[in-house]
Amino acid sequence: MDDALVNVVDVEATCWDGQPPPGRPSEIIEVGLTVVDLAAGVRVSKHRVLVRPQRSAVSAFCTELTGLTQAEVDTGVSFAEACRLLAAEHDAGARPWASWGDYDRNQFTRQCRATGARYPFGRVHTNAKVAFTEAHGLRKRPGMAQALEIAGLPLEGRHHRGEDDAWNIAALVLHLRARDAWPVPA
């Protein structure tokens, strides 16, 4: 395995305008993953895994935000299968990974705990939002779209779509690497 490869992950989950309905937890419905080659300074590949929610449904608010519909996510795989695919096809358990903030890592942890699915990722995780904030000397941690503006990078695709957000976060990872500001995993 190449140590220079990093999986950049972004998830979309069921959401509502306000509190979730009783007994309806937020569940991952899309996992976006972009493989980054830090040594070459390029985004290598872009992937998407649709996940079928088991205990909640895609609300109209969620569809407006993400573009994902209940009919579309109904064609997805189970959460356990998504975790298996991430580990088998993307070396998720061995390869370092990054996300914008801790939401994605925490959502996987919660959902694995709740469903008994095997956590697909290894221990080496970088919070790219923290790295970006520190590298740019900012007081407040920016959202991904604002960080792209600060870095002078375009927002590619649709914001709040897992596969596109992972691609854009990967561009920010490479921006940090080019500034020698990407943290080296311990």
d(CA 51, CA 48): 10
Give the model's confidence band at 1: pLDDT under 50 very low, under 70 low, under 90 confident, else very high. very low
Q: Are 45 and 8 in contact (CB under 8 A)?
A: no
Residue type present at position 142? P
- The first and second tokens of residue 38, run together, are 């830090």
What per-residue confidence (pLDDT) applies to 76? Answer: 98
The pLDDT of 101-126, averaged and rounded, is 97
Q: Domain total for the chain?
A: 1
What per-residue confidence (pLDDT) applies to 184? Answer: 81
What percent of the chain shows pLDDT beyond 90? 97
Residue 13 lies in a domain: yes
Residue 44 lies in a domain: yes
Residue type present at position 176? L
Residue 184 lies in a domain: no
CATH number of the CATH domain containing 86: 3.30.420.10
Residue 115 lies in a domain: yes
Residue 156 lies in a domain: yes
The pLDDT of 15-40, averaged and rounded, is 96
What per-residue confidence (pLDDT) applies to 143? Answer: 98
Residues 76-109 have pLDDT tens digits of 999 999 999 999 999 999 999 999 999 999 999 9
Q: Are 25 and 49 in contact (CB under 8 A)?
A: no
Residues in Cβ contact with 149 at an 8 Å cutoff, skipping those fewer than 6 apart = none
Residue numbers of the domain that contains 159:
5-178
Q: Output the pTM of the full model.
A: 0.96
Residue 50 lies in a domain: yes
What per-residue confidence (pLDDT) applies to 161? Answer: 97
Residue 186 lies in a domain: no
- The first and second tokens of residue 160, run together, are 């709040």
Task: Return mean pLDDT, the chain.
Answer: 96
Three-class secondary structure of residue 56 per DSSP: coil
